[in-house]
Amino acid sequence: MKRILCVACSLALCAPLALGLHAAYGEEFAPDASVKAPAAMTETAPSLPQAPENSGLFETPTTHALEASEGGMSEVSPLSPLQTEAAPEESGVVVREATVDGGESASPDVGGDYLSPLVTLRADPYLYKHEGMYYFTGSYPQYDRIELTAADSVNGIAAAVPKEIWHMDANFKEKYVWAPELHYIMGQWVIYFAYSQGSLWDIKCCALRCTGDDPMHDEWEYMGVMKKTAGDGFSFNSGMSLDMTVFYHEELDKWYAIWAQKPSSSNLYIAELADPFTLATQPMLLTQPDYDWEKLRESVNEGPAVLQHAGKIFVSFSAAATGYEYCMGLLEIDACDDPMVKENWTKYPEPVFQTDESLKIYGPGHNCFVEGDNGEQLCILHFRDYKDITGDSLLDFNRHAHVMKITFDRNGVPQFHIDKEDLYNSQFSDHK
């Protein structure tokens, strides 16, 4: 397999290490027989000529001694219906065991008291930092508009007044507007979101473009469904597509899009971007539901979010139906590897965050990553504070946005954990 040489990889010799189970998406995936981990690596702050400033996707690396972990995943308060299984023989991707909520932390102590919930009645929360300002958006409960909120601190978002920047066509009474994400990409402000087209469930990845430099005060223009490259008959065409996110790959100097699409199950796909509204390549299947925890009530991989840290690129995603079974999985790739080569990716065989009844966390997921007030890494995610839902879970609007402080183990792997004292410290009431 041809490898792409990058600065990070040239600093250390990479030795193969068997860390977990391996599987394949049939002909879709042909993984290596091992997963490589650098024995040691000294990193310096990278130059990001085209990366969005202070976006939260890039962290200033610190010096780490990276050691391969041979331990399995520790428990994350499992529920009996959420027990995981061994990798199915034909399941899909290279899988790796990791320590979650365990192991020695290689990251500094995180501080700051953040409100919980930060924002109520906002599923699919997205918090973006740019030039010292925070911008928040998420799925509006009626699924008919996009709002933006701005503040100079994370907690400031809770008190700031949202501004409606776009509303779906008033002539359409049965359409969905889902999961908006704000990005500063290639010199312009863009919002990616899912929007019903010809019918309620004909949902496609769409985009808005800000006509100026101020996302809160300048006009926004609807750009329509994302465009694909010539010869691509699949993207945004076969089944429902939604939850698009984008990231800048520093080593390759390229932008990529990741989104969910549902030809049968809901899978994640990745493609290079030619511009903020057009794919440059054919899509690659990144992950599909392989394990029981990804298939509870519905077979779903959706809501991708990108975190770059210590020579790795991590993609979290959400799995299963949107009730208490909803949970978060994790993918990983070396930053010096080509993300369009399937066997370069590693998939963790167990959820990294899931329902914890003892903490009244039910159905956590659809997260994003952002730098906090003190420079720490945060994960913004939604969950409910109760298990039982009457009727359609989409019409239960009590998925509130919360803040999770992320730490990293000795291998640079993010640790997903919320302390009890950080939960439910602000007054709120559920929608009835």
Taking all residues of the chain, what is their mean pLDDT, rounded to a whole number?
80
Q: Which of 43, 59, 124, 290 is catalytic?
A: 124
C-alpha–C-alpha distance, residues 359 and 378, integer Å = 19
How do residues 82-137 score in pLDDT, each as one tens digit?
Answer: 333 333 333 334 443 333 333 333 333 444 599 999 999 999 999 999 999 999 99
Residues 6+ apart with CB under 8 A from 391: none
> Average pLDDT for residues 143-149, to the nearest whole number?
97
Q: Answer yes or no: is pLDDT of 240 > 70.
A: yes
C-alpha–C-alpha distance, residues 104 and 177, integer Å = 42
Per the annotation, the verdict on 356 as an active-site residue is: no
> Average pLDDT for residues 6-34, to the nearest whole number?
36
Q: What is the pLDDT of residue 387?
A: 97
| 16-30, 233-247, 378-392, 398-412: segment of lowest average pLDDT | 16-30
C-alpha–C-alpha distance, residues 120 and 199, integer Å = 29
Q: Which of 181, 298, 302, 334 is catalytic?
A: 302
Q: Look at strands 362-371 and 346-347 and give their pairing.
A: unpaired
More confident residue, 43 or 371: 371
Q: What is the pLDDT of residue 35?
A: 34
Q: What is the pLDDT of residue 173?
A: 67
Residue 239: pLDDT band with limits 50, 70, 90:
confident
Q: Answer yes or no: is pLDDT of 282 > 80.
A: yes
Q: What is the pLDDT of residue 170?
A: 75
> Average pLDDT for residues 397-416, to the nearest whole number?
97
| 313 contacts 331 by C-beta, under 8 angstroms | no
Q: What is the DSSP string of 42-100?
A: ---PPP-SSSPTT-SSB-----B--------PPP----GGG---PPPTT--SEE----S
| 56-60, 192-196, 304-308: segment of lowest average pLDDT | 56-60
Residue 149: pLDDT band with limits 50, 70, 90:
very high
Q: What is the pLDDT of residue 333?
A: 98
C-alpha–C-alpha distance, residues 248 and 129, integer Å = 15
> Average pLDDT for residues 42-63, to the nearest whole number?
34
Residue 199: pLDDT band with limits 50, 70, 90:
confident
So where are the chain's domains?
A: 10-422
CATH topology of domain 10-422: Tachylectin-2; Chain A (2.115.10)
Q: How far is CA 342 from CA 30, 91, 331, 347, in A?
A: 7, 14, 12, 11
Per the annotation, the verdict on 409 as an active-site residue is: no
